[in-house]
Structure 1
Amino acid sequence: MRELEEALDISLLSRTTRRVTLTEEGARYYASVVQILRFVDQAGDEARSTRGAAAGTVRISCTAALGTRHISRLIFAFQDRHPEITVDLSLTDERIDLVRDGMDIAIRLGPLADSSMKLHAIGASRRVLVGSTDYLLRHGKPATPEALANLEGIRMLNIAGSDSLALRRADGRTSIVPFGGRLRVDHGLAAREAFAAGRGIGPAHLWLVHDLLDNGQLEILLQDYELASVPLNLLIIPERAKTARVRLVVDFLISEIRKLPGIVIS
C-alpha cells in the first residue's frame, strides 16, 4: 500500500494508533478502481456469452428479513436453473452504497432517495396489524383503533415514526393513534418471533407472517382498516444492467418476488 501511495503521490489511508480509514482521495480511488474492474468483468462476460452460457458472479444486497424468509430460497431455485452463476447474497437493513460495496443489485423496501441506479419497481408490500391468538384471548381483541392503547406493542427501532400507527378506513378516513410498548427491535425476524410468542401486537409485512396467519398462530386485527403499503424496488448498477448473468437474475427475481404473499403489483 505504501508503494501504491508513493506511485500516486497521495495518501489513500489515514492511519492512527487505533484505526486505519480511507482518506477522501482513497475513497475516490477505490470507487474508480471498482468501476474499472466492473468494466473488465463485463467485457469478460460478453466474451463468454459467445459460447451461449451465462457464467460468473452476481452480488445482491437485500433487506435481512425478506432475504432470510424468501430471497435465499429464490436464489436456490435460480442456481438450479443456472449452475454456472455464483451468487453473493448480502443481508443488511442498512442503505449501502452499491458502487462502494461492490454490489450489482439491491432489493430495497421503502422510499428511495434520488439515485443514479437503474430502478425496477417490483410493487408494494402490504402490511397488516397482527397479534397471536393466545395474546388476544388473554387481553381482548380491539374493535377500534383507539383500543390499541390497551395492548402491548412491538415496535421497530429502525423505522421513523413507529411510535404511532396510521390506519385508513375504506372510505378514506385515517385514524392516527399512539403506539407503544416495552419491546423495541431492529429486525423483522425478531418482531416475528415476538408476535408468535404472544409478546404483543404490531404491524408486519404479510410476507413475513403469512405462514403464522395460515396456521392460526396469528390473527389480523382491525380488518376494516389498512396500513400503508411499502414500496419494493430493485436497483441495479447501470453498467451491470447489460451483463447477461445480471439480466437473468433481475428478470427471475422480479417475476418470482411478485408472487410472494402481500406483494401488490403497481
Structure 2
Amino acid sequence: MDRFDAMAVLLAVVDKGGFSAAGRALRMPVTTVSRRITDLEDHLGAKLFVRTTRQVSLTEAGVAYVAAARRILGDVEEAEKNAAGEYAEPKGELVITAPIFFGRRHVMPVVEEFLQLHPRITVRLVLLDRNIPLVEDHIDMAVRIGPLPDSSMIATRIGQLRTVVCASPKFLGVHGVPSTPEMLRNLPCITFNAPFSSPRWRFHTSDQGLVEVPVDTRLSVSLAEAALDAAIHDIGVARLLQYQVAEAVQAGHLTPILESWEIPPTPVHLVHAGRGRLPLKMRLFLDLAAPKLRTILEGIQSGMPVP
C-alpha cells in the first residue's frame, strides 16, 4: 500500500464530503476509493469513518489521522518545491483561478505580461464562476470577489466593486424607471445562478438595513456575460457587478437605476494558502498582479462614480 496515495484519497473523501465526490475529483472509481480507505484502515487497525447510507463522518481516530495526513502531505509538497528550486528561481507551473468575466477581461492581460517576464514559468488559468478549494484542488492563487470566510488563507485586498442594477435606455423608456426596489416585482428581470428558484435581490435601506426583494424573472442564464448582453438588448433589468457593466454604462448602452438603494460594495482579494513561505513564482505574480489589478479596479470606480 502506498501510504502517501492513501492519505491523498482520505483527504479527498473528507474535503469533498463523500466517496462518490472524491472519486469524481480524483477520476477514480468509487470502488477503488472505498478499497483504498479500507486498506488504510486495515493497516492502521482503526476505523477512520462512520458510514451510513446518507453520509460519512470521521471517527475520533479519523480526525487525528486526517490532521496528521494534511501536515505530512504539506511537508512533502514543501520539500518537493524546495528540492526543485522553486524558492530560489522563478520556474514551474503556477495555477490561478478567477471568475470567468473578470479573468478574461482583467486577469488574462496580467498573466500574458507575467509569462513574457518569466520564460521558465507556465500558467494554468482556471476560469470559473464559483469558488473552489485552493489546497484540495492544487490552486496557487485565486481572485475572490465577495466576503471571505474565516480561514487559514492569506488575502491581499485589491479593491471593491459596486453591485449595479441596470437596464437599457430603450427598456426604461418603455417600462419606466423604478423608484423603489419593490417596483421590480412588476418588471421583467434577468437573473443568473438561480434557475430553479424564485430569485431575490438584496438592497440596502436607511431604516431597515439589508432587505431582499423577489423579482420577476423573464430570462435566467448561467453566465454574467449572457445577462449583460440580454440587458443591452432590452430584455429586462439586470443586477451585475460594476466591472461587468462599466463599459456598457460608459457607452450609454445601460443605465444604472436604484443607485441610492445599492448594497455596500463587495471586496476583491488575491488569495493564497497560508502555509509555509511562498515559492518565488507566486511572490513574483503577487507583486505584479496586485498593483495592476488594484489600478484596474480604481479605474472602474472612477469611470462609474459612486452616487
Same fold (TM > 0.5) = yes
Q: Is the 8 A contact 2:184 2:216 kept in 1?
A: no
Q: Is the 8 A contact 2:194 2:220 kept in 1?
A: no
Report the number of matched residues: 255
Q: Is the 8 A contact 2:189 2:219 kept in 1?
A: yes
In structure 2, give the amino acid aligned to 1:74.
V
After superposition, give the CA deviation of every residue in 1:178-203 in whole Å (9 maximum; x if it has no partner). Answer: 32313223322222222222221122
Percent identical across equivalent pairs?
27
Q: CA deviation at 1:119?
A: 2.0
**2:122 corresponds to 1:95:** no
Q: Is the 8 A contact 1:34 1:102 kept in 2?
A: no
Moved more, 203-212 or 69-78: 69-78
| RCO comparison, higher one (Cα < 8 Å, 6+) | 1
SS at match of 1:73: helix
SS at match of 2:217: coil
SS at match of 1:102: coil
Distance 1:102 1:221 in 2: 41
After superposition, give the CA deviation of every residue in 1:201-248 in whole Å (9 maximum; x if it has no partner). Answer: 122111111111111111111333323322222221234652111011
SS at match of 2:216: coil
Moved more, 133-142 or 151-160: 151-160
State the partner residue of 1:129. 165
Distance 1:241 1:148 in 2: 50
Unaligned runs of 5+ in 2: 14-18, 24-28, 41-65, 303-307
State the partner residue of 1:164. 201
Q: Which among 24, 28, 33 is matched to residue 22 of structure 1?
A: 33
Closer, same or farther in 2 for the Cα pair 1:30/1:227, shift >3 Å? closer
Unaligned runs of 5+ in 1: none
Q: CA deviation at 1:90?
A: 0.7
SS at match of 1:94: coil
Q: If the length of structure 1 is used for normalisation, what is the TM-score?
A: 0.78
Q: Compare the two structures and name the one with the higher helix fraction.
A: 2
Q: After superposition, where does 1:1-266 map in structure 2 within 5 Å?
A: 4=2, 19=30, 22-23=33-34, 25=37, 33=73, 36-46=76-86, 48-49=88-89, 54-157=90-193, 162-168=199-205, 176-239=212-275, 241-261=277-297, 262=300
Q: Is the 8 A contact 1:120 1:234 kept in 2?
A: yes
Distance 1:173 1:115 in 2: 27
SS at match of 1:121: strand
Distance 2:152 2:198 in 1: 28
Closer, same or farther in 2 for the Cα pair 1:163/1:77, shift >3 Å? same
Distance 1:124 1:47 in 2: 32
Q: CA deviation at 1:253?
A: 1.7
Q: If the length of structure 2 is used for normalisation, what is the TM-score?
A: 0.69
Q: CA deviation at 1:174?
A: 6.2
Moved more, 247-256 or 133-142: 133-142
In structure 2, give the amino acid aligned to 1:144.
T
Distance 1:158 1:22 in 2: 33
In structure 2, give the amino acid aligned to 1:125.
L
SS at match of 2:157: strand
Q: CA deviation at 1:35?
A: 5.5
In structure 1, give the amino acid aligned to 2:286.
V
Distance 2:141 2:278 in 1: 12
Q: Is the 8 A contact 1:35 1:99 kept in 2?
A: no
Q: Is the 8 A contact 1:69 1:208 kept in 2?
A: no
Distance 2:113 2:102 in 1: 16
Distance 1:158 1:76 in 2: 34
Q: CA deviation at 1:251?
A: 1.9
Distance 1:21 1:156 in 2: 37
Distance 1:257 1:187 in 2: 22
Closer, same or farther in 2 for the Cα pair 1:63/1:174, shift >3 Å? closer
